[in-house]
Amino acid sequence: RILQSNPITEALGNAKTCRNSNSSRFGKFVRVCMDRSGVIRGAMIDHYLLEKPRVTHQPQGERNYHAFYQLCAGAGPALKKELGIRTASEHRYTGQSHCVTVDGVDDAADFEETMGALRGVGVSKEGEESLLRTL
């Protein structure tokens, strides 16, 4: 489950920059919890220093956080209609830098991976829906 959190943290905290197509825009500290015999029993992830201005503005040639593009590319028609989702280029916060796609990145497939990771770490259906509405 600890490793399953990676697609989630990358979707919500990584973005394409001029130097790196999967650049972490936050810091994270992972605490691994073990029992007395050394068996991993869980983990806690602390996030800090998220690059907040990126949500509303990205430099030319860079992208917002991956999650927005994944949602635009991977959500089905019913979910898109429910959430008012259009293509990434049609949304102000994902289209302004004119960098909607990245060579070698399949945002629709990454959306499925992120959603699977949410289920894999135990996020409820209601939790998934809340996250998607927030995005």
Q: For position 1, what pLDDT does the model report?
A: 82
Q: For position 84, what pLDDT does the model report?
A: 97
Q: How far apart are CA 88 and CA 4, in angstroms?
A: 26
Closest among 75, 78, 87, 88 to 131, alpha carbons compared: 75
Fold of 5-122: Arc Repressor Mutant, subunit A (1.10.10)
Q: For position 6, what pLDDT does the model report?
A: 96
Low-confidence ranges of the chain (pLDDT < 70): none
C-alpha Rg value of the chain to the nearest Å: 16
Are 24 and 14 in contact, with CB atoms under 8 Å apart?
A: yes
Write out pLDDT tens, residues 91-116. Answer: 999 999 999 999 999 999 999 999 99
Q: For position 32, what pLDDT does the model report?
A: 96
